[in-house]
Chains A and B, each alone.
Chain A
Amino acid sequence: MNREGRVYTITFSFIATFVFVLILALLNAATVQKIQENEQLFKVKAIMKAFGIEYDDKQALQTFEKYVKVTTLDGKELYYTLFGTEKLYGIVFGGSGLWSNISGFLAVDENVERIVGIEFISQAETPGLGGRIEEEWFKKQFRSEKLLNGAITLQTGGSGDYDHENGKVDAITGATQTSRALINIINDHLVILRNLLEVRK
Chain B
Amino acid sequence: MSEFTKIAKNNLIRENQILVQVLGICSTLAVTNNLRNTAIMATGVTLVTGLSNLTVSLFKDYIPRKVRMMVETLIIAFYVIIVDIVLRAYLPDVSKALGPYVGLIITNCIIMGRAEAFAQANNPVISLWDGLTAGAGYSLVLLIVASIRELLGFGTLFNIHIMPKSFTPFTIMVMAPSAFFIVAILIWIAKSSSFKAGEKK
Least CB distance, B158 to chain A, in whole angstroms: 13
Closest chain A residue to B91 by CB distance?
Answer: A38
- B171 touching A127, Cβ below 8 Å: no
Tell me, in angstroms, the Cα distance from A12 to B70 when the chains sit together: 12
Interface 1/0 per residue, B29-69 and A, CB below 8 Å: 01111100100000000000000000000010011111100
Q: Is B81 an interface residue (CB 8 A)?
A: yes
Name which of A17, A31, A127, A173 has the most chain B CB atoms within 10 A of its CB: A127
Contact call A24/B99, Cβ cutoff below 8 A? no
Asked if A12 and B171 sit within 8 Å, CB to CB, the answer is no
Task: Return B101 CB to nearest CB of chain A, in Å.
Answer: 6
| B185: A residues at CB distance < 8 A | none
Chain B residues within 8 Å of A41, by CB: 92
In the complex, what residues of B have CB within 8 A of residue A4's CB? 64-66
Which residues of A are found within 8 Å of B111, using beta-carbon distances? Answer: none
Chain A residues positioned under 8 Å from B132 (CB to CB): none
* Contact size range, A: 20 to 34
Q: Closest CB-CB distance, A125 to chain B, in whole Å?
A: 8
CB distance A173 to B64 under 8 Å? no
B30–A126 CB distance below 8 A:
yes
Assess whether A174 is in contact with B171, with CB atoms less than 8 Å apart. Answer: yes
Q: How far is the CA of A3 from the CA of B85 in the complex (A)?
A: 34
B65 and A127 form a contact (CB under 8 A)? no
The reply to whether the CB of B89 lies closer than 8 angstroms to some CB of chain A is yes
Contact with A38, one of B30, B59, B88, B171 (Cβ below 8 angstroms)? B88
Interface centre among A41, A128, A159 (most CB of B within 10 A): A128
Question: Looking across the interface, which residue of chain B has its beta carbon closest to that of A13?
Answer: B67
Residue of A whose beta carbon sits closest to that of B75: A20
B interface residues (Cβ-Cβ under 8 A, vs A): 30-34, 37, 59, 62-67, 70-71, 74-75, 78, 81-82, 85-86, 88-90, 92, 96, 99-101, 169, 171, 174-175
**Cα A99 to Cα B201 with chains together (Å):** 53
Beyond A4-B65, A13-B64, A127-B99, 15 extra complex contacts between A and B, CB < 8 Å: A3-B62, A4-B64, A4-B66, A20-B78, A24-B78, A28-B85, A31-B85, A34-B90, A38-B88, A38-B92, A126-B30, A127-B31, A127-B100, A131-B99, A159-B169
Q: In the docked arrangement, what's the CA distance between A34 and B71, Å?
A: 30
Instruction: Scan A1-21; emit 1 where CB is below 8 A from any B CB, else 0.
Output: 001100011001100110010
**Which one, A23, A28, A39, contacts B78 given CB within 8 A?**
A23
Distance in angstroms from B141 CB to nearest chain A CB is 17
Residues of B close to A159: CB separation below 8 A: 169
Among all A-B residue pairs, the 9 with the closest Cβ atoms: A31-B89, A128-B33, A38-B92, A9-B64, A124-B100, A34-B89, A174-B174, A128-B34, A20-B78
Q: Are A12 and B67 in contact (CB under 8 A)?
A: yes
How far, in whole Å, are A20 and B63 apart by their CA atoms in the complex? 14
CB neighbors of B among A164-196 (8 A)? 173-174
Considering only CB atoms, which chain B residue lies closest to A23 in the complex?
B78
What's the nearest-Cβ distance from chain A to residue B149, in Å? 9
Interface CB pairs A-B, < 8 A, 13: A4-B64, A8-B64, A9-B67, A12-B71, A13-B70, A13-B71, A16-B59, A100-B100, A127-B30, A128-B37, A128-B174, A173-B169, A174-B175
Bound state CA distance, A126 and B104, in angstroms? 11
- CA A4 – CA B171 in complex, angstroms? 55
Contact check, B37 vs A35: say whether CB atoms are below 8 A apart. no
Which of A12, A13, A17, A42 interacts with B96 by CB under 8 Å? A42
Whole-angstrom distance from the CB of A105 to the nearest CB of chain B?
A: 15
B65 and A31: CB pair below 8 A? no
